């Protein structure tokens, strides 16, 4: 019997809306991360890497961000379906993120582990 992925994104679509237009930032993202494994998102500037990573914890401002289709499952729970209070309990406790500018978010005198 195989263990389900720790994190699984299925057919995720991310859009950003303004008063005049809607921009599809990503369409049909599928990925899975097994426990103890590492996954790297690689692509050109503007390809949706940051939007995808921020979507896992729903850190894209909603609105303008919307998720018209797809699922983001962590330990079997769809994070897109969680109410804000339950999502806040997952952030930091179960899932954390090191942002693109680590000097602005990390203390250089401490290790990432601490």
pLDDT tens, residue order, the chain (114 aa): 678 899 999 999 999 998 889 888 889 999 999 999 988 889 898 888 889 999 999 999 989 999 999 999 999 999 999 998 999 999 988 988 877 776 666 677 777 676
Domain assignment of residue 2, yes or no: no
CATH of residue 44's domain is 3.40.50.300
In a domain, 26, yes or no: yes
**How far, in whole angstroms, is CA 75 from its chain's centroid?**
14
Residue 111 within a domain = no
DSSP the chain: -PPPPSEEEEEEEEEEE-SS-EEEEEEEEEEEE-TT--------TTSSHHHHHHHHTT-S-TTTEEEEEEEEEETTEEGGGS-HHHHHHHBTTTB----S-HHHHS-TTS-S--
Q: What is the pLDDT of residue 103?
A: 67
Q: Which domain holds residue 87?
A: 7-105
pTM for this structure? Answer: 0.80
Indicate the number of domains in the chain.
1
For residue 72, tell me if it sits in a domain. yes
Q: On the CB side of 45, how many CA atoms lie within 13 Å of its CA?
A: 0
User: Has residue 86 been placed in a domain?
Assistant: yes
Domain assignment present for 113 = no
């Amino acid at each position: 019997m195989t263990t389900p992925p720790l994190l699984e994104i299925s057919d995720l679509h991310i859009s950003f809306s303004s008063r005049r237009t809607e921009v599809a930032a990503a369409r049909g993202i599928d990925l899975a991360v097994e426990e103890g494994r590492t996954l790297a998102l690689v692509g050109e500037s503007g390809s949706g890497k940051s939007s995808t990573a921020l979507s896992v914890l729903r850190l894209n401002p909603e609105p303008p961000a919307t998720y018209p289709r797809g699922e983001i499952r962590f330990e079997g729970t769809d994070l897109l379906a969680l109410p804000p209070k339950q999502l806040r309990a997952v952030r930091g406790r179960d899932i954390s993120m090191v942002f693109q500018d680590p000097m602005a978010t990390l203390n250089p005198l401490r290790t990432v582990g601490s």
